[in-house]
Amino acid sequence: MRLFTTIRPYRREWLRPDLFAAFTVWAVLVPEALAYATIAGVSPIVGLYAAPGALLLYAAIGTSRNLITGANAAAAALSAAVVGGIVAGDSGAFAQTTAALAICIGIIAVVAGIARLGFVVNFISIPVLRGFITGLALTIIAGQVPHLFGVQSSDGDFFDRVWVFLTNLNEIDPVTAAIGLGSLAFILYCRYFHPAIPGSLISVGVGIAVVSAFDLGANGVAIIGPIEGGLPSPSIPDAGFADLGALMVGAAGVMIVGFAEGLASAGANPSDDEKVDPNRELVGMGMANVSGGLAGGFVVTGSVSKTAINAAAGACSQLVGIVVAALVVLTMLFFSSVFESLPEAALAAVVIAALVHVVDIHSLRTYYRILDYGNELNPANRPDFIAAVAALLGVMVFDILPGLFIGIVASLGLLLYRSSMPHLTRLGELGDHSGHWGDVKRHPEAREHPGVLVIRVEAALFFANADQIKSTATDMVRESTEAVVLDLESVPFIDLTGALMLQSLSAELAREEVKLAIARDVGQVEDLIRSTGMEELLDNAYVSIREAVAGVSSGSVSPTGESSHSSPGQ
C-alpha cells in the first residue's frame, strides 16, 4: 500500500494555503474536541488525545486531500450510549471502555476495508442517515442547553431532556447564562457573517479569561476543573473480555454511521481529479481509531464541519492534517492547564453552534414534497420522508442507541420495499418522432396501436419482484388486448426466478389468446434465458418495439435472423 498519496508529489505553491488551512482547522478542532469529549462522557482533554495519531494515520492512508479526521458530535454521542449500556457509575472504567470501543471500531473498519466491504455504506439510505443525524443533533442540543444556563440536565431522550430543563428554570444562573448565550451568539455571528474569524476558539479563550479574572469558578459557574497535562502514554485499555461482545456489536453500528458521514464529507468537498476509495477510507478510518483508542481517546470519524472549513480555507493536501497534529501536540504539552478554567457554558455553546447546521430541515421538506408529489411519481420513491422521520423520532423518543438500530432497520425496509415495487410503464409511439416510444401518461399525444399493449419494465427482474411484475402486467391487459410487448431495455438484471416468471406470463397470456413478445432484450437477459433452456421465450424477441408491434400485429413469428432477432451478447 502506497502511503501519503494525497501529499506526493508535493507542489511548492501548495505550502502557503496548506499552512493557512492548518491553523484555521486547529482553531476549530481544539474547542470542538474538548466539547465533544463531554458528550462522549469523558474528560474534555481526552478529546485531544486521539487527534494527533488519527490525523497522521489518515494522512498516510486516506485518499481524500481535504477530509479532516477527528472528534464528531454524532459519533461521540453514540460512543456514550454504547459505553453507558455497559459501564455505569465508574468514571475510570467508563474512560477505559470508551477507548476500547474506539479500538473495536478501528479493527472492524480495517477488516472491512481489507475485505473490500466499502460498498456496505450504500445500504444506509441518505434520507435515513439525515433523519437520524438530525434527531441526534436535536437530542444533543437538548442535553447541552441546561449547561448553557447552569441548570440541572438529564441523560434521557430528547423529550425527557427538554422536560427536565423546563421544570428547573428557577435554577438558571445569570452569570453562567450570560457566558453561555454570549459565547453562542458570538460563534454564530462569526460563522454566518465573518467565517474567517475562529469564533469557537475566541469564545473559549474569552470564557477562560473572564472566569480567571473574576474567580467565577468559586462563585457558582461550572468549569472543567483539574486536567492532567502532557501527552498520553499509549496503552491497551483495561476493559474486560466479558464486555467484548457488546462492544463489538455497538462498534459495528457506530462504524457504519461514522464511515457514511465521513465518506459523505469527502464527497462533498472533493479536490481536482480526486478519486476517493471507500475501501482504503475504511482502512484509514480504522487505523485512526486504533491509534486513538491506544492513546486513551474516543472514536474519530471524518468531520463534516472541519472538512468544509478546510476546503474553504484553500487546503491542497493532507499536509494540513500533519501540521494540525503537530499543533495539537503543542497544545497538550504547553496549554492544557489553561483549559482548567474553561466554563462548561462556553463548551455547550461550541457544541450547539456546531450542531445547528446539522439539523437538516431543508432535506426533510424535500422528502415531504416527494411524498406529496402525486400519483404520477413512482411509488417506490415516495417513502423517503417516512423513513427519515422514523429514524429522527427513533432517536428522539427511544434514545440514541435504539434510534441507531431503528435507522438501520428503516434503511433495510426501504431496500426491501423498493426491491418489491417495480415500475411498469404503458408506452405509445410518439407521432413527431417515428420509432420513438414514450409513457402515455407523460405524452398524451403518444399513439397506442390497436390491440397491442406495450409495457416497459423499469426495474431488475428477480425473485423479489417477479410476482409483482407479472401481476401488474396482467392487470394492464384489457379485453381488447390481442398482444403484449415487453420492452426490457431498462432491465439491468434478471435471475432464474425472473425468467421463470416470463415463461409463466407467456403461458397465462396464451390461455387468454394473447400473444407475448419481447423487445430490446439486453444481452444478459437473453444469455440468462438461453442458459436456462427457455429459448422458446426468444421465438418472439425483437430488436425494436416497432418490429415487435409489427410482428404481433401481423400474426407472424419473429424471424431468427439478425434483422429482427436480438443476437446473443447484444
- Same domain assignment for residues 383 and 494: no
Please tell me the predicted confidence (pLDDT) of residue 89.
Answer: 63
Q: Is position 369 within any domain?
A: yes
Helix residue spans in 194-339 (DSSP H): 199-214, 244-268, 278-294, 304-312, 319-334
Residue 482: domain span: 423-554
Q: Is position 214 within any domain?
A: yes
- Same domain assignment for residues 330 and 457: no
- Same domain assignment for residues 107 and 242: yes
- Same domain assignment for residues 402 and 525: no
Under 8 Å between Cβ of 324 and 28: no
CATH number, position 496: 3.30.750.24
Q: Is position 1 within any domain?
A: no
How far is residue 408's CA from residue 155's CA, in Å, rounded to a whole number? 23
- The 3-state DSSP class for residue 53 equals helix
HSE at residue 436, side-chain half, CA atoms within 13 A, is: 8
Under 8 Å between Cβ of 455 and 491: no
Contacts of 89 (CB under 8 A, 6+ apart): none
Helix residue spans in 478-555 (DSSP H): 496-511, 523-531, 545-554
How far is residue 191's CA from residue 196's CA, in Å, rounded to a whole number? 8
How far is residue 94's CA from residue 100's CA, in Å, rounded to a whole number? 10
532-542 burial, b at 16+ Cβ within 10 Å, e below that, comes to eebeebbebbb
- Same domain assignment for residues 319 and 446: no
- The 3-state DSSP class for residue 541 equals strand
- Same domain assignment for residues 368 and 233: no
- Same domain assignment for residues 342 and 431: no
Task: Please say which residue of 419, 436, 462 terminates a domain.
Answer: 419
Helical (H) or strand (E) element with 133: helix 126-149
Q: Is position 567 within any domain?
A: no
Q: Is position 9 within any domain?
A: no
Could you write out the three-class secondary structure of 76-109? HHHHHHHHHCCCCCCHHHHHHHHHHHHHHHHHHH
- Same domain assignment for residues 409 and 442: no
Query: Could you report the average pLDDT of every consecutive run of 10 residues in the chain (570 residues)?
Result: 83 92 92 91 90 93 89 89 81 88 94 88 80 90 93 86 92 94 95 88 93 89 85 84 83 87 70 75 92 93 85 89 95 89 92 87 83 56 81 88 83 80 87 78 86 90 90 90 90 88 91 90 78 80 88 58 40
- Same domain assignment for residues 432 and 401: no
- Same domain assignment for residues 48 and 127: yes
The structure's pTM equals 0.78
Contacts of 434 (CB under 8 A, 6+ apart): none
Task: Please say which residue of 356, 373, 403 terminates a domain.
Answer: 356
Q: Is position 4 within any domain?
A: no
Q: Is position 413 within any domain?
A: yes
Q: Report the number of distinct structural domains present in the chain.
A: 3
> In angstroms, how far is CA 520 from the centroid of its own chain?
37
* Main-chain phi, psi angles of 302, to 5 degrees: -65, 130
- Same domain assignment for residues 188 and 335: yes
Q: Is position 130 within any domain?
A: yes
- Same domain assignment for residues 396 and 252: no
Phi/psi region, residue 503 (left: phi>0; alpha: psi -120 to 50; beta: rest), is alpha
User: Residue 565 has what DSSP assignment?
Assistant: S
From the number of C-beta atoms within 10 Å of its C-beta (0-12, 13-18, 19+), residue 448 rates as: middle
